[in-house]
Amino acid sequence: MKRYITSDEASEIVTQLGLEFAVINNPDNVYPPFEIYPLTPKIQEAQKQLSSIVMNLEGIFASSEMLHLHSLEYMVRQISGRFEKEQWVGLDKIIDYPNLLNGSNANPVEFLIQRYHNFIKLDFFKEAYLHSALWTLILGKDEKRKEVVRKNLKDLGCGDLLNDPKLVEYVAQKEFGKYNANVITNYFLHKYDLNLTLQNFIITARAASDIYFKRVHEILELIKLGEGNNLAKEFFPGSEKLFIEPVAGIATMIAIVKGWLGGDAEFIFNELNDTLKKNSSQNYRISDIESTRSNLKRLSLEFEKRPLAIALVSTETQYDTSIIINEALNIISSQIRRLKITEERKNLLIEKFSDYRNIFDTIVTFNDISKSRQKPFRDLYSTALSQLGLHQMRFNEILGIENSENGIISMRTSGIGLTVAIPPFKSNTQNLSEASFIAGGGIPEILLNYNCFFSF
């Protein structure tokens, strides 16, 4: 094929690539303004052979929405000085939650900056920003996030702070605790002129993001130390909510497709059916209980003979992803102990779910791609498919599961035709029509109503 072609020749080539295309906007600093990608044709029938499942971390394997909602509300309170419920009741479940949870907003921080712009008080914002930047540099463990913080400080006119002997000393000693954090923050706040202005929306959003991510990482570090349940009780009193938890039914799906559940799958049917009826947005009723139970057992026995590979993609950094996965696995292990299956099977599952390397054949994170190539670009999923080692001719054997429009586009532009969308929020306003199937009942629906899209 010629390396350089005319627009007419390009048009001719494009028409050969398919009937549907995705138009994806590039960031302002990337040429050209947009790119056009062919969408692989939808596969809308069960397959006689499956080799792999490719899934998103957030909303498919685990949910960390309470962590993000809490941290986003924390950010708004910090930059506005409205710390108490009496001053501001908090994020609006009707207006804010759908925009923050359904994935339609690529940057929820930017949404909140626009929505609560009149709340912002510059003095509070400056102090909260610098406090968060210092916490990240001194105590943070995610190197990718530290790179972002350093760049933001330079862009805000505080590049000299990074080489300040005092900061070097604090970093070396990991000194930024409850009793001296405010003193350290005020010291640098008075020493350096922080060029933060609310007139520059991009800079405002970047600074606010550092506050948000500081809170996320602060909580993740405590979760890593085993304080997740205690923290949840403190911040969500009277509720069973957790900062991180596995998605309903995901452990069962993994155990089945990995061949670990075998004939015991029929004993989990009732729990799956109850979850389907409880969590689905529709009034699901399985017409033939015994036939569906039998199919679940048969499906499990089929995968016992030919287990599937599983690839996980995450828009989080590698460091965050590992904490989220391990916390979800800890909860799954406690759930397994309550299952009505044999002790031998329980012990096998607990052993398998004790190490994510038993579950995922590859994990692709934010660290593995360029920042400007996040979803809806295909890079996360193309990298995952490459690491699975499948030839393009076998992409029809892949089941892709996502929970956002951007994710579905990313999958289909990477070559995955059998895509299932699980709507992420009850008041979801996303257009998920580009998926092959929409499973409003989540993972239980995929298993019970669709037999995991495997044709016996």
- Nearest-Å Rg of the Cα atoms of the chain is 24
CA distances from 30 to 123, 200, 286, 398 (A): 34, 20, 50, 32
Note the helical H segments in 227-288. 228-235, 250-257, 269-279
DSSP 30-49: SSSSEEEEEPPPP--S-BS-
Structure tokens at 177: 């605790």
Instruction: Say what the pLDDT of residue 98 is.
Output: 86
- Choose among 94, 89, 91, 101: nearest CA to 64: 101
Q: Are residues 338 and 408 in the same domain?
A: yes
Q: Are residues 272 and 323 in the same domain?
A: yes
Q: Are residues 160 and 211 in the same domain?
A: yes
Residue 306 host element (H or E): none
Q: Are residues 329 and 262 in the same domain?
A: yes
Would you call the peptide bond into 376 cis, given omega within 30 degrees of 0 as the criterion? yes
Q: Are residues 415 and 439 in the same domain?
A: yes
User: Does 10 fall in a domain?
Assistant: no
Give the dihedral sign, CA 357/60/378/146: negative
Q: Label residue 1 exposed, middle or buried (CB < 10 Å: 0-12, 13-18, 19+).
A: exposed
Q: How large is the angle between the packed helices 143-155 and 318-336, nearest 10 degrees?
A: 140
* Contact by Cβ (8 Å): 335, 386: no
CATH, residue 400: 3.40.50.1000
CA distances from 105 to 48, 56, 213, 314, 422 (A): 37, 17, 17, 17, 17
21-59 pLDDT tens trace: 999 999 888 999 999 999 999 999 999 999 999 999 999
Q: How many domains does the structure of the chain reveal? A: 2
> For residues 346 and 340, what is the distance between their CA atoms, to the nearest angstrom?
9
Instruction: Say what the pLDDT of residue 430 is.
Output: 77
Q: Are residues 197 and 316 in the same domain?
A: no
Q: Are residues 250 and 369 in the same domain?
A: yes
Q: Which residues of 31-55 are buried (b: 16+ CB within 10 A; e: fewer)?
A: eeeeeebbbbeebeeebeebbbbbb
Residue-range definition of the domain harbouring residue 368: 52-63+246-453
Task: For residue 428, report the phi and psi dihedrals to the nearest 5 degrees.
Answer: -60, 135
- Choose among 337, 316, 363: nearest CA to 63: 316
Of 207, 235, 263, which residue sits at a domain end? 235
For residue 82, how many other CB atoms are within 10 A of its CB?
A: 18
47-103 pLDDT tens trace: 999 999 999 999 999 999 999 999 999 999 999 999 999 999 999 999 999 888 765
Q: Are residues 293 and 436 in the same domain?
A: yes
CA distances from 250 to 63, 327, 413 (A): 11, 14, 25
Instruction: Say what the pLDDT of residue 328 is.
Output: 98
Q: Are residues 166 and 230 in the same domain?
A: yes
Q: Are residues 164 and 305 in the same domain?
A: no
Instruction: Say what the pLDDT of residue 28 is.
Output: 82
Of 214, 235, 256, which residue sits at a domain end? 235
User: Average pLDDT for consecutive 10-residue bins of the chain (456 residues)?
Assistant: 89 91 91 95 96 97 96 98 96 91 73 95 97 98 94 94 96 92 96 90 94 97 94 92 96 98 95 86 74 96 98 95 97 94 96 98 95 92 96 96 95 98 73 94 95 94
User: Does 203 fall in a domain?
Assistant: yes
Q: Are residues 325 and 345 in the same domain?
A: yes
Q: In this structure, are strands 52-56 and 418-421 parallel, antiparallel, or unpaired?
A: unpaired
> For residues 384 and 361, what is the distance between their CA atoms, to the nearest angstrom?
9
User: Does 58 fall in a domain?
Assistant: yes
User: Does 447 fall in a domain?
Assistant: yes
- Choose among 118, 117, 102, 153: nearest CA to 132: 153
> For residues 203 and 188, what is the distance between their CA atoms, to the nearest angstrom?
20
User: Does 45 fall in a domain?
Assistant: no
> For residues 71 and 91, what is the distance between their CA atoms, to the nearest angstrom?
11
